[in-house]
Structure 1
Amino acid sequence: MADRFRELERPQGGRPKDIVLMATVSSFESLRFPSRSDLVQFGELFEQLYEASTEEARRQAVAALSRCPQVPQDVALFIARQPIGIAAIFLMGSKAIADGTLMRILRTTGPDHARAIGRRDDLSPAVIEALVGTHQDHASRRTGDDREAALREAARLEREEGIREELRALMRAATPAGQAPVRLEPATDIHQALFVRFARTGDVGMMAVALADALASSQWLSERILLDLSGRQLAETLLALDVAEADGLFLLRTVYPHLSDGGAEALLASLDAGEAARRVESWQRADRYTNGAGLPKAANGDDVEAKGQDHHDRSSGIGRQRAAG
């Protein structure tokens, strides 16, 4: 695992920093019990890759780390101090932030970060007391014109939130049932046939498109799954999508050659289907939180987006005949 992190740290010819950041996070996320050296090496890599990446990749990385049971505390503190639009999901949901780190964040950030921490469902009495003290401290600083300005701002935000809620209600009413976000469903026969075909031809880009379609997610999520070098995330996804065992073994052996000699069988046998489904659904929720319900352009450029349109065309007609062939 240390070698894998170091390999990601080396310059990659033509390899976008976004992809390197997501691959590093995926590798770390796949570690069920990271060692002390794993935590140290990930901490050394993360900040520099984060700084070199786009805001979209940063959001994806933070959303993924918010699900990890262990995160180095220096990384947790670094993420928590980012703008609230990025840090919120981590502050609200990460189980890896120690109480001491939370109280340090409260002392060094503003009310937006405090509100995000206040929405956690596992607050200790010490953190609750710190939150109350932070709120009182912020309130005591608002006197005269400052207090009036704060009240006006609060009223404005309340009006805007009311308008947004009305718009969301209108969108829900206007959205056809077929376009509404759905829970994780088993992959269709067409999707499974496409997975096998693209794996056989070595077209990982198109496999990411088909996987995103099956998950009703952005291609950022499907690419992140495929970038997990251990193959565990793809194995969990295939289990969650109820892909036939023979097809799943073929996909794992083809995409990750190191799993060829019994590794794919051992990996699938070590996984629980119910746990895998819950994990993939949590990825979907995080993906929709950061990307919305739509399917934005993939990380690897216009070519994949064009191919993705071709995939949808094939799925609606021509592809049905080819997949059956």
Structure 2
Amino acid sequence: MSSSDFRQITIKNEAQKAERLFRAAVSAFCSLTRPSRREIAQVDDLALPLFDLVSVESKRYVAAALSECPCPPVALIKRLCDESVDIAAPLLIRSPVLTDVDLIALIGRHGHGHARAIGRRPGLNPAIARLVAALENKVVPLRPRDAAPVPQPAMPSQEPADAGPVLEDPAPGTAVEDVRQRLRAMMRPASANFSATARTVYERLRETALSGHAPFFQTALADALDVEFAAIRDSAGQSSCAWLLDALRMLDVGDEKAFLVTAAIYPSQFGDLQAIRLFLSRYAAISREEATLRIARWKTGSEPEAPGLPPHADSDLSAEIRVAG
């Protein structure tokens, strides 16, 4: 699609401009046989700011158009998958970019409707299929993923004297818990430990922060904190970076790593060594418990009383850094 086509769109009625631009951007992207990384980033940058302005019908159209795209804009895909199942279903069923971990997270956030759509994916991981079955009260016994079916022997006329204990079918609660344990194991790295998980989260935050595309970073942070994208987007609109310090502290990101991410998001606030020293001092003063409580407040949009919780030590951090700079 040429720039003149987009100019024609912008002169239409304001009420329809976002709708048509949203659809046109995705349609133009889907017509590319081998989109480059730059083109993938461009469609995310164009479509995500329009996302909350367009109708359900447009979101359905875009989800269907992207559902079989081999190299789709990942941030837009994840926003669509977090919509209601009538919008997200084509992606949940067919999108090749959704990993097992993505599917598990979507089931955890959205429950039965998303699980049922995910259950229709071809080649679905058996552990996830069992989770879907458990959610539909169709619990099946667990067995190794690649094990062949065990043939049923003919009923003997007399049970051997040395027969082992009879295994009863697992209770529904037990089977569901077994499925959960297997899914947790899938989501851990092979050498699972907390530091490895934290390192993986940090690497994604660092890469998206350095990409220069704010929606990428905001999506990565929303996933890491398990909050809505809108909450991160609204917080990112603040002039203060205090919200980001709380998020990084809650994720147990180290001091130097936290500075790298914050400086990538707020580059103008760190002009000299004094500003860097002030940042490190303030970040070290934040406890993980305080950060968790503050994030819980803006995560839910409430301001509950927390006896003994000190006021936000970093509320004026950005102002002090600007003065220091």
TM value normalised by structure 2: 0.40
TM value normalised by structure 1: 0.40
Task: Considering Cα pairs closer than 8 Å and 6+ residues apart, tell me whether 1 or 2 has the greater RCO.
Answer: 1
